[in-house]
Each structure stands twice: as structure tokens, then as C-alpha cells.
Amino acid sequence: MKSVIIFIMILSIFTIIEGEDSLQYNKLTEEEKRVIIDKGTEPSFSGEYSDHYEEGTYICKRCNTPLYFSTDKFKSGCGWPSFDDEIPGSIERKTDADGRRTEILCANCGAHLGHVFTGEGYTDKNVRHCVNSISMEFIPDGEPLPLQKAFFAAGCFWGVEHHFKQADGVVKTEVGYAGGHTDNPSYEEVSTGNTGHKETIEVLYKPDEISYEELVKLFFEIHDFTQTDGQGPDIGEQYLSYIFYINDEQKEAAEDIIDRLEEMNYEIATDLEKAEDFWEAEDYHQDYYEKTGKQPYCHIRKKIFED
């Protein structure tokens, strides 16, 4: 009897996991699985986007995460789509199984995208993301994206993440570091205040459920955006108030809300900066308050906006 019960429990857990995956990831064809899951490669010059230059955004075929803007795509003649930059926080790099090349994957779901190369001199950035077309979908400018990204810094990222995770329409959050001048910094390095990084949260959200403007309003309502030297008792450059925008639309939306706050006679200390890099923080920082059961000590939501 015990063995039967254990089997049923295992089957139930497996079913739940399968159900969660079906909700989170898109269904793939066998050929898509060969490339995206099994790390295969489509034949050169055979992909839909190898010679494709419309304006828009390329997203992950498996999970819909935005990966590349068309403005970063260039013609390399290699037979696969080529990009010299990525949307911050969207790409994970790993040493390939051959021990020589660097594999690139979707940072959200781990889907295999292709490989990244440096030193070839194609563009001023001297980087080439060589991506399988079959690993992506293209969304033209003007059409809604199923998922979008946003980056905010508002003091200690533990409390900021706690509040954003509760917002309807937010799919996933990661805490990390942005706005600095060193690569892949550690928490200890950032804590010195010498790297230029801010404790930052990456928000992956559904634009049809929550708008970027609503996220910006939430950002302003959960911290003191008038403080110029940190946040609450946390003093230092790493705790400053920043909005890292990924495109002009986000910048303009943030500027509009700042204008509204200034009309309310607030003195705004928040800076706006183009998102360049986002470095994920150590595992023990992720979902900190959910892991510890504690409550944020310096982030309490205060309603400011009526709409």
C-alpha cells in the first residue's frame, strides 16, 4: 500500500510540474526542441531571420522574453541572425560543451540561442551574437509584446523586490546590479560604493495586465525619491534612486510621471539612465523576504497617485 501511495504522490508532483511548464512555456515543434532544448543548430542561411531587417523586437520562442532590438541587428554574412548587443539581463553566457565557444541562452528559461563571438570587427562594439532564427519570434514595432522588461533602483533591493512581486501582471523578478563600471560585480564589491553600481531589480511583466506607467508609479510609492544620499538608513551610491530605461518609450513615460510629481511640489532625486548591463546578484539575495519570512524595514508603500 505504501508503495502505491508513494507512486501516486510522485505522479501528482510530476503532473503539477508539467502543468506549470505548460503555463510558463510555449509548445515547441520537434525541430524547435532539437535546437532550443537539445542545443542543435539550424543550417546556415535557412532561418527566417537570417536576412531580416524590419524594426521591432526579437523574443524567445520558448518563453516570450524580449532578447534583442532590431537596432542591434547587423549583416555579417555568416548565415544566421547577428546582433552586437542584447536587451540587458536577457542573455546568459556559458562555456560551450566543446570547451572553446561561448554559448548564449535565454536568461529566463535557459533556451539555447546560439553562440557569441568577440574580436571579429564587424561593428564598433566588436561583438557578434550568432543566433538561430528558430529560437526567436519577431514582434514588429507597434505590435504589443507578450512580455516586457523594466529596471528600477530604490535602495535595498530586498524590499523593492518584495513589493514588485505582489503586483498583478509581474511574471518574474531578479535582483542585481546596474549602472556601474565593472563587469559581474559581487555584493561585497558593490557594497564598497566604488563600482558605481546600484542595487537594482529587474521586472519581467505582462504589458496587457500592468503598464510600464503603473510600474513607475509603484516604484515612486515604495521609497523616498527625494532622498539624495541613499534610502532610509542605507547610505551610499549603491542605494540611490534610479530608473534604468530600455527604450525611448520607457524614458518618456518615466519623465511624464516625474513631471506630475514636480507639479505636486516634490523635489525629485531620482535619476534616469539608459540600461546598459544588469548583473544578477547572488542566490541568497533573490526573494530574500520570502525566504526569511521577515518584513521590509525601509520600504512601505505610500499612496501618491489617484489614478
Q: Which residues are catalytic?
A: 130, 156
Percent helix, strand, coil in the chain, to 5, is 30, 25, 45
Residue 165 CA to residue 110 CA, distance in Å, equals 21
Find, among 224, 237, 236, 232, the residue nearest to 273 by Cα: 237
Measured CA to CA in angstroms, residue 33 lies from 36, 38, 40, 68, 134 at distances of 5, 6, 9, 21, 10
Please classify residue 211 by burial: count the beta carbons closer than 10 Å to its beta carbon, then call 0-12 exposed, 13-18 middle and 19+ buried. Answer: middle
Cβ distance 218 to 164 under 8 Å? yes
Query: What are the residues whose beta carbons fall under 8 Å from the beta carbon of 44, sequence distance 6 or more?
Result: 50, 78, 79, 80
